[in-house]
Amino acid sequence: MNAGEGVKLERIPWRRGGEQPRPEELRAALEGEGFAVFAWTDGPCARYEPHQHEEDESLWMLAGAMSFEVEGARYDLAAGDRLMLPACTVHSAVAGASGASYLVGQRR
């Protein structure tokens, strides 16, 4: 994905086998795609009611697990997985039993 392109709704699975995601590498990739990036951590079973953002968003899991619901479909993410959310996409989320840590990239 190039900076300036809109995103499409998709879950991108981690394809590096047993290798753990490295936050600095993932942050650099997001910034290279034109996203402003911040780290976020949710406690066990944290919930987000349906909401939307004005900007495209990319969520990249560092640790733990999180499930998102978008348009009736469920997207389960574990460490290394990535979710692409186009601007104005209504979604809800719940963190796993051990919580979740992830990078959030936002781009107008």
Segment 61-98, tens digit of pLDDT:
999 999 999 999 999 999 999 999 999 999 999 999 99
> Which domains, ranges and CATH numbers included, belong to the chain?
10-107 (2.60.120.10)
pTM for this predicted structure: 0.90
Residue with tokens 């392109």: 5
Digit-coded pLDDT (tens) for 18-75: 788 899 999 999 999 999 999 999 999 999 999 999 999 999 999 999 999 999 999 9
